[in-house]
Structure 1
């Protein structure tokens, strides 16, 4: 046997980063609570105890992985020296597009899994994201001095939402083409019209009102089943499925815990009920919107308007619908994922009819960008008025759908 075969194997210097990256991919694929230390170790090719040499527990891995992701994003959007704000923004968008494509498998840490962080780490995460926004807002306001601070932030969030959309699906997207498409989408958002500053302030104020309006009435006429479902949706959205117990749901609905099981045999049944409700309401609003459409272009506009109304009017339900797939009972999970895919394909079908020049693969990327833009901003502002922010979001979604990928 060669002497080299007897030499001890050296531990890689980047083992901690390797563990965090593999864990992040598993968290994003299956959900934080469904992944164990032994699975992470096996994917890295080490033993479970070896993981504990680097991290005291799974939560520490989540914190480290989230910090790594945000640090990399901040580095991609670092302030570029130069007097031309257009050149600065172009360099930042190109770097962020490349970062997004490279980190596609771990982007759900930004989208959903960060909900499982403790409040101190959530606060840290929000502060870092505000810094990220600010690095693009500053040159954007130099480029477009007519924008208010709120308007510039709104457009930057829209751009970042279109970038983040690539991490929400598995549709084929060759790296170079995906980078080019995201780069163009980012510029399309930053060049678009922002809602008036007054509308943005109204939207933020409405978030407080909407949150309180969502609390179940103490003496309403709703059935107990409806009260339980509404409470479950609200808690699943705010805390994540695994952080909520049946007792919590009963207490939030004002119903004795032992009575909850008369209406829903398990927490999984409650989650499935929320999904079927979302699917039914989305299908109904889509059918209503498309009825009477005069052509593919008109159909796309109607589809966008209907989705904006749905996402802004029922933001908690939409967030649960998009975030908790992995926690559904298996038969429901397969059925509902099929329904979600069919909804996206309806957008793709109509968009390619309206734009015959657009390949279906590119259309799918743009559709996901538009949908993610709407749901991201819908969660951020929770504004249910008929004008202002929702109208601006609908316009941005149409801009995204009509962005021309690089030929």
Structure 2
């Protein structure tokens, strides 16, 4: 008697497996670049089987955004009321580090949610911030409009945006320590030596530069995929066909924006470290420069961060190399200021500092005021431990 082919048993948690795989794909590739076929392959099923669980890509994406938020809320709500901030932040860090490959979709991709879904997701994060803020205010009461709580969560959430490999327990320790330093810092207490930095804005003196300057706000507002050549051409006052005399395609405009962002940061770093000898002063100068860049070039930064994954390899490579050079400068200066850190630990903290800036800046609605820059610089320096 000949045995028939083995029977494939469909796992009972297939829908959960689909969501888990989709979270990783959306986080790594971006909403528009990800495909249902790619997600199905990651699960080991056909696209047709995937559509039996989710009617379209958007429905699957919306489910993904809920998953991580629900996990974070459940984790912090398990911490008893009145527990110290360290316990609340440790609970958030455990979930975030465990699912770091999935969490990156929140940083920029949630903007693609429809209004009702965005409101529902926002309510969950409001609850999360409130729980952290309650613990923070019990220990260090300051009227800072939950700025420290948001910044602390930004430090923890930063682990979802990079690939620095550190042992899980060590990663959690680094992130929680950085977040606790943020919560213990008065953002209005600006120490001497924090300098105000002004980064010169690029002046579009050529038609190519004008096209780039017009495209960046459109990409930031609507997302790269939604913007057409016609949209960009109208913003500059050109016929769509005229764009091709300056850029081979829309993706080349995006690549130019990413390179411009990297170039502005490189120029700022060079200027900020000129004549600085003390390592602690150097790190604070770098922090002030990064904060200045983030407030002055918010749209450019958001485009460079959100859309980089969608670039073809050949166009993405020089941008990634420039970013690595930028991180290397930070790592070197931070390790001089804190010799106990190893390279990976230093890089993890640098990204934590960037996370503080992103979330604190958002909390302040990127309103470019001296007191806002000072507050975010102080919190970033606290996360770095200087």
Aligned-partner SS, 2:52: coil
Find 2:367's aligned residue among 377, 383, 390.
Answer: 383
Distance across 1 between alignment mates of 2:356 and 2:175? 13
Higher relative contact order (CA 8 A, sep 6+): 2
| Residue 51 of structure 2 is aligned to residue 68 of structure 1 | no
Corresponding residue for 1:270? 253
How much is the aligned-residue C-alpha RMSD, in angstroms? 2.4
Corresponding residue for 2:40? 41
Corresponding residue for 1:81? 80
Q: Give the deviation of 1:308 after TM superposition.
A: 1.1
Between 255-264 and 289-298, the greater mean CA deviation after superposition? 255-264
Change (3 A) 1:332 1:221: closer
Correspondence 1:195-344 to 2 at 5 A: 195=188, 224-344=207-327
Find 1:163's aligned residue among 156, 165, 177.
Answer: 156
Change (3 A) 1:55 1:103: same
| Residue 147 of structure 2 is aligned to residue 154 of structure 1 | yes
Structure 2 contact 181–385 (Cα < 8 Å) conserved: no
Unmatched tracts of structure 1, length 5 or more: 197-213, 215-219
Which whole-Å deviations, capped at 9, do the CAs of 1:75-104 have from their partners, x for residues lacking one?
A: 11216434xx4x243321111010011110
Q: TM-score, normalised to structure 2's length?
A: 0.90
**Count of matched residue pairs:** 373
Corresponding residue for 2:99? 103
Corresponding residue for 1:205? none
Which whole-Å deviations, capped at 9, do the CAs of 1:202-226 have from their partners, x for residues lacking one?
A: xxxxxxxxxxxx9xxxxx9965444
Q: TM-score, normalised to structure 1's length?
A: 0.85
Distance across 2 between alignment mates of 1:46 and 1:265? 38
Structure 1 contact 233–274 (Cα < 8 Å) conserved: yes
Q: Give the deviation of 1:376 after TM superposition.
A: 3.3
Q: Give the deviation of 1:354 after TM superposition.
A: 1.7
Distance across 2 between alignment mates of 1:327 and 1:180? 32
